[in-house]
Each structure stands twice: as C-alpha cells, then as structure tokens.
Amino acid sequence: MTVIDISPSVMQFLLAFIVIAPLLGAVAALLPAPPGLRGRNPDQAVLRHGVTVTGAVLIAAIVLAVGFDHDHPATMQATTDISWIPALGVRIHLGIDGISLPLLLLTALLTFLCALYSYFKLPAGPSPKAFIALVLVLESGTLATFAVLDLLLFFLAFEMVLIPMYFLIARWGGEQRRAAAWKFILYTLLGSVVMLLGLLLIGLKSGTFDMVALATDNGRGLTTSVQVIAVLAIGVGLAVKTPMWPLHSWLPDAHTAAPTVGSVLLAGVLLKMGTYGFVRILLPIAPDGMRTFAPYLAAFAVVGIVYGSLACLALARNGAKGDLKRLIAYSSVGHMGFVLLGIATMTPTGVNGALFANIAHGLITGLLFFLVGAIKDRYGTADLDTLAGATGAALYGRAPRLGALLAFAAVASLGLPGLAGFWGEMLTLFGAYSPAEGLSRPAFRTFMAIGAFGTLLTAAYMLIVVRRVCMGEHTPHSQLSPDTPSGKPADAPQPSPAAGGAPQLADIQGYEAAAWTPLAAFTVLAGLWPAILLGLTDPAVQKLLAGGKS
C-alpha cells in the first residue's frame, strides 16, 4: 500500500536528490548570494539558505515516505544502480527499505530543526557561511550512509561526516573545544581504518561489494574464519561511532564542548550510523562471525548501560560540579547499550527493539540537548550545582513551559510507558530473554537482568535532574550573599514573590517552540502507536535475518 502512487523514476530522483541536494547547498552557501537574495543582512541570508535547503530535503524525504510501498517494506525501493569504478566492481547503488527509511526521515527532520534553530540562535564563532556549509555536508554524509548499498560507498559516506563535525566542535564549541574535537577525530579515524580493512576483506573474498547481494548470500560465500575477522575489524569501527563501552570516552568531551546543534546532530543521527552498520552489514553478511562475538557484544552493551547510568548518578549528585550536557552524553552511552544488546540477540524481536530504540533516542536526546542548550543560554552555565544552588533553577516557577518540557523529555528518556523510549528497551529485553539459536540462554538472561537494573538507574538519575533543575533547592533570599553558589553580585535582580523567591526567566520562545515541538510530538506518537515504526522495520528485519528470503 502506498499513500500516493509515485512512479519508480520519480522515487529514484527523490532519493538521489535527498543525498545530493545538501552537498550542492553547501557549495552554494560558500558562494556570494545572488542580488535578489542578499537581503539587508548577508549573515541572515546564508542562514535562511540553510533553512531552505534542509527544508527542501525534509519535504523530499516526506514525499519519498508517502510514495514508499508499505505493503513491501522488506523490498529495496527507489533504487539506483550505476557502475562507478568497474575495475573494483564499485557501483553507485542507492535504495531504501523499512530499516533505512525511518533513519532517513529522522536525519532530515533533525537537520532542518537545527537549521531553523540556528537562524534565530547562531552559536558564537566564525563565518555563518562556513557553519551552514558544514551542517549541510554533515547532512549529506549521514543521509548517504543510510541510502547507499555498496560497502565502499558506505565507508566513504561514513567518513564524510567526520571533518564537518570536527570543525563544528573546534570552531563553534565551548571550553576545551579543540581537545574534544581532536579526541573525536582521532578515535573515529582510527576505528575507521580498521573498519575499512574488514570491508575490503569481505569484498575481495566474496567478489562483490554489493550489500544486497551479500545479504542474500547470507555469508555462504565466506568461511567462518573470514567472517570472524571481518566482524572483529568492522565491529571495532562501528563500535567507536556507536559508541560502545569502553570505546566511548570521546563522546562526553565532544558533547560538552559542541554547540547545541552540534550535540543534537551528534546524538540524534551520527551515533545511529554505527548501529545501522551492525544491522545492515554484519548481521546479514557475516552471521557466523556475529554469532561468535554476540555474547561479548552483549556483555559490553550491558556494562555500558550500567556504567553510563552510574556516571550520570555521579554527575547528578550534590557537590559533584556535574555538567548537564555531559550527563546527557553519558546517558547516551547507556541508551546505545540497549541498542547493541538488541542487535546481539540476533532475533527479530531484539533487532526491532534496537531499531526502535535508535529512533526514540534520536528524538528524545535531540530534544534534551536543545533544552540543555536553552538553559545554558539563560543561565550562562550548565553546571548542576550552580543551577540547583542557593536560589535554585526552579524552572517550574521561573520558566514553567521550559521546566515542563524538560521534565517530559526526562521521563521519556527513562522509558515511561506511552512514550517512545519504552518500546525499544522493552523489546530489547524480550529479545535477550530468548536469543537466537546457538547463543547461551543463561548468559543472555543474565544480560537481560542487568539491562533491566540499568533502567532503574536511568530513572534515578533523570528524576534527580528534574528535582534539582526544575524544582530547585530553596534557600531564603536573606541567606544569600555575593559569594553564594548562585554567583550573583549584590546588585543582581531581586527575586519576585510570584516566582517563589527567584527572578523570572524568558520562557520558551517562538523559534524554540517551532524547533522542539515536532520532537515532543513524535515522541508521543511513537509511544502510543509503535506500529508506525515496527510495521516498517519488522518485515525488513525478518528478511535480513533469513538471508534475503521474505
């Protein structure tokens, strides 16, 4: 069933447009604006250009989704297959199915919202032209990663996002931005070198780099030893990008230093590239190798779940001087641990849970980073002790809509039933209860129990954050002095009685509501109607795990 019947040639054009348009838009952003489009402010003109290009890509992605045949989500659609490097057998092969379509839509949505947000709130740094060009190159590389069906093209797209993200952190970031950017690029590049060796091994041993043909073959053309080596090499590169414990240490620094939109894109779409690679490449192409490493992958995943939660609890405690952005970054380590656990089960239930958790994490954590960025803009800090200091952030009283939305995002992140975060974690744990044939049930049920314990820890630190930031810790105004943790001088604005003893803050602005409302709405929609996602992913996952057979 298609909502609107669109011809295959138009579908091909739409997918190619989605991948190429941001790249062309990045080039155009660096060129002088045509006379009729310059406006009164050249900086605003290029920011408007970013909103226009990302908006066009989002509209094209929506039309592509409308024309997608939802009765056959396991079939590759909108495919383009053109020979590119005949000597190596490399082809420009594009296509989407029920696995890649949601990620394509998520990327297009988040990038558009980031461009819209930046139009009104551009991070401090060099030329807006360079900023918009980098965001568009980043979008093109991410979209290409989810659309290409050739191993070498996948690698090129996978690498294409590294340089833009490096410069977004290094040039538009906050404190310690250069060190964080270097750490990000070194970790990811080293992982990518190892991954390239694994991809070449698969291509040379099987005689093709075509991901559809390799998935259909289901590893029958590769010996077990080749599969094991390939999974180890490719898995390391993907695990760095995911990020999997203990290869995660670049992530908190990168998030803490990155500008708000950089953090949203890093958490919302870049981390998904790693887990997508596990599902699209390793599960169908090297199943024997995956079966060998699945228990270890699951073990690292649950350690990451508990480690990320304990790190968040440590940052959230009183007196720890924990940075709120850093806390959300560590929470991503735990959430992506659930995704990896679902993949490691090698079952349709677990993999569907992993894909659902991927989308939920992009929506919820993207919203959280937007909100933390807004809080930092208003207070000048994201330090939890300062926010919950003598006057208390008290967002419920000072900026009630902002406080309510932060509380909503926090309970969505902890997996409250009825919101998007719940289904991915639940399906992942169900998958771990009954893993694929050949995997140890006692081991995976132990992993399930540890993962379930991690959900309790997640609830604990998220509720602590809500209590400290939204409710604050009230101290009578008479006890305050210029040296109090609030950091306010003696002539600071006096608290207003209406706000419970704290001065009012600007609540959610119009542009913020425009950028954040879609994320909140889709978080509710996916939570109340999970079939909207599972109906796409389940048939494609069933076919993928069955070796290309529906």
Q: What is the mean pLDDT of the chain?
A: 85
Buried b (16+ CB within 10 A) or exposed e, 169-184: bbbbbbeebeebbebb
User: pLDDT tens digits, residue range 272-296?
Assistant: 999 999 999 999 998 889 999 999 9
In sequence order, what E strands does 19-147 have? 77-85, 90-96
The confidence score (pLDDT) of residue 491 equals 35
Residue 143: pLDDT band by 50, 70, 90 thresholds? very high
User: Within 10 A of 483 (CB to CB), how many other CB atoms are there?
Assistant: 9
Q: How far is CA 486 from the centre of its chain?
A: 33
User: pLDDT tens digits, residue range 73-128?
Assistant: 888 888 888 888 887 778 889 999 999 999 999 999 999 999 999 998 888 878 88
Omega into 243 within 30° of 0, i.e. cis?
A: yes
Q: In angstroms, rounded to a whole number, what is the distance separating the alpha carbons of residues 98 and 95?
A: 11
The confidence score (pLDDT) of residue 33 equals 66
The confidence score (pLDDT) of residue 221 equals 79
Highest mean pLDDT: which range of 243-257, 376-390, 500-514:
243-257
* Mean pLDDT across 477-497: 37
The confidence score (pLDDT) of residue 256 equals 86
The confidence score (pLDDT) of residue 40 equals 66
User: pLDDT tens digits, residue range 406-462?
Assistant: 999 999 998 888 899 899 999 999 999 999 888 889 999 999 999 999 999 999 999
DSSP strand pairing (90-96 vs 77-85): antiparallel
> Does residue 355 carry a pLDDT above 90?
yes
Q: Could you tell me which residue, 318 or 158, shows the higher pLDDT?
A: 158
The confidence score (pLDDT) of residue 366 equals 92
φ, ψ at 83 (rounded to 5°): -65, 130
* Mean pLDDT across 17-41: 80
The confidence score (pLDDT) of residue 21 equals 93
Residues with Cβ within 8 Å of 345's Cβ and at least 6 positions away in sequence, in order, are 294, 298, 351, 428, 431, 432, 435, 436, 439, 444
User: pLDDT tens digits, residue range 216-259?
Assistant: 887 787 888 999 999 999 999 999 888 888 888 888 888 888 88
The confidence score (pLDDT) of residue 155 equals 93
Exposure of 52 by Cβ count < 10 A (0-12 exposed, 13-18 middle, 19+ buried)? middle
The confidence score (pLDDT) of residue 7 equals 84
